[in-house]
Structure 1
Amino acid sequence: MHMTVANVMTEKVVSVTAATPFKDIAEALITGGISAVPVTDDDNHVIGMISEADLLRKEEFREEFYREGYRPPLRARLRRPKGRQKADGDTAAQLMTSPAITIHPAATAVAAARLMDAHGVKRLAVVDYNGRLQGIVSRRDLVKLFLRGDQEIAVEIRDDILGRTLWVDTDGVTVTVEGGVVTLTGWMDRRTETGVAARMAARVNGVVDVVNKLTWKQDDSKWEVG
């Protein structure tokens, strides 16, 4: 079974409004032990996200650092004038990144990981179909998937993948899991079936890798369709 965002997200979320002042945002981050907060409107719709990096822009662009001969870092220069605008901001509305990157609770954890990677963010606001805040999912939440016990992973592969999902004879297959690495040994009727079994086992949450040692009775990989 593929884990969804709802299975791993944090439901109790610290959030701020557009009018929240700079220092209150900083306090929310520090008190909550978090690195970003969603910005919501009066109806709990997510309208943006503020991270520690957004707050640090103010320090980065302080005028006292611009002495004679000083040249800002390349990253800072590339961010201007947007970075400068955020550095001058005093409220969440002026500091936030908008629109926020969001995801639905029913989306898979894999989809969340891909979305984070595509946008270069570490967390996503989780919203319902109306855009209202439901939770937050972070990279740390996704990493927790790999903490599943070996026995739990083995049972899911034996019962769900081999026992119910694959409509072929899997009685000859043995599953062992150590440190999240799945080893499939034994036999199946056809060579293509062994590949399918290995690929489906790799999709189970918590699996680090799959070692396919399965043999087959018939090599159907080169069969031609007549």
Structure 2
Amino acid sequence: MNGTTAVVNDVMTHRVVAMRTGAAFKDIVQTMQEWRVSALPVLDEDGRVVGIVSEADLLSKEEYGAEGDVGRYARVQHLAEVRKAVAVTAGELMTAPAVTVTPDATLARAARVMARRRVKRLPVVGPDGTLQGIVSRSDLLKVFLRDDSDIAEDVRCEVVARLFGAQAEAIRIEVRGGVVTLVGRVRETALIPLATRLVRAVEGVVDVQCALSGPPRHPDLDPDLPDPQRSARA
């Protein structure tokens, strides 16, 4: 990931278990137990992802399976769940269409999709819709396990050197626990906010403490400019 933006393919699980639309209820439950997962992608005959079957989908059979446990009003209000209560195959149980992401999507995009669609994992599909892997919330957090030294190297090469050129050598970069601190003086103070934003976007950065400032003032040469040191002593 050094020098490049991490994408879903960098962190996703490539070995994934999935079910066909015709998979039976008990086979789905057994597979979830064996693989210790709470949801499974559902594939059509061509291997394309057409939905997701989760523990919540399966539990509808417990909640609404017994006719005496559900009143008429509840059946109307929760029609989809009631239908799943009598379903026996993955195709009938699944939530469709599946919310998916591509291998080249950035981690930020995957995180936004998860948050907006309120899902914990996303099947990763190729251009033809076939299953390539799966990415979970915990996978997206792996980027924050990067070594501080690697983060510092990326900050120096990809941000500081490119923005400040020859001045970059005078900028001190410290990284502790993913928190980046920038210390030094630069001539182009207008670039400081941009540097902070770019550093924050580096993979694995938790926070940025920016202590960059402009060149020292010379009141004797620039009488119209305030002397910050004299103001501080006043």
Query: What per-residue deviation string (whole Å, max 9, x for no partner) do you get for residues 102-147 of structure 1?
Result: 1110110110000011100011111111111111011010011111
| Structure 2 counterpart of 1:26, one-letter code | V
Following TM superposition, the consecutive aligned residue runs of length 4 or more in structure 1 with deviations greater than 3 angstroms are none
- Sort the Cα spacing of 1:47 and 1:119 in 2 relative to 1 into closer, same or farther, 3 A: same
Q: Greater Rg, structure 1 or structure 2?
A: 2
- Tell me which residue corresponds to 1:46: 49
Give yes or no for the alignment of 1:2 onto 2:5.
yes
Query: What per-residue deviation string (whole Å, max 9, x for no partner) do you get for residues 51-110 of structure 1?
Result: 111111211223277289xx97xxx985x1011111221100011011100111011011
Deviation at 1:171, TM superposition (A): 2.4
- Tell me which residue corresponds to 2:181: 183
* Matched position secondary structure for 1:140: helix
Q: Which has the higher helix share?
A: 2
Residue 144 of structure 1: which of 139, 142, 146 is its match? 142
Deviation at 1:161, TM superposition (A): 2.0
- Tell me which residue corresponds to 1:26: 29
Map 1:95-114; keep pairs closer than 5 Å.
95-114=93-112
Residue 197 of structure 1: which of 195, 198, 217 is its match? 195
Deviation at 1:22, TM superposition (A): 0.8
Deviation at 1:159, TM superposition (A): 1.9
2:52 and 2:6 mapped to 1: Cα distance?
Answer: 25
TM-score (normalizing by structure 2):
0.84
- Tell me which residue corresponds to 2:126: 128
1:91 and 1:28 mapped to 2: Cα distance?
Answer: 13
1:49 and 1:29 mapped to 2: Cα distance?
Answer: 13
Residue 157 of structure 1: which of 152, 155, 158 is its match? 155
Residue 174 of structure 1: which of 172, 175, 178 is its match? 172
- Tell me which residue corresponds to 2:223: none
- Tell me which residue corresponds to 2:14: 11
Give yes or no for the alignment of 1:62 onto 2:65.
yes
Deviation at 1:176, TM superposition (A): 0.7
* Matched position secondary structure for 1:103: coil
2:152 and 2:45 mapped to 1: Cα distance?
Answer: 47
- Tell me which residue corresponds to 1:221: none
TM-score (normalizing by structure 1):
0.87
1:110 and 1:65 mapped to 2: Cα distance?
Answer: 46
1:117 and 1:77 mapped to 2: Cα distance?
Answer: 29
- Sort the Cα spacing of 1:214 and 1:86 in 2 relative to 1 into closer, same or farther, 3 A: same
Note if contact 1:18-1:40 (Cα within 8 Å) is conserved in structure 2.
Answer: yes
* Matched position secondary structure for 2:214: strand
1:87 and 1:180 mapped to 2: Cα distance?
Answer: 47
Question: How many percent of aligned residue pairs carry the same amino acid?
Answer: 41
- Provide the aligned C-alpha RMSD in A: 2.2
- Sort the Cα spacing of 1:77 and 1:173 in 2 relative to 1 into closer, same or farther, 3 A: farther
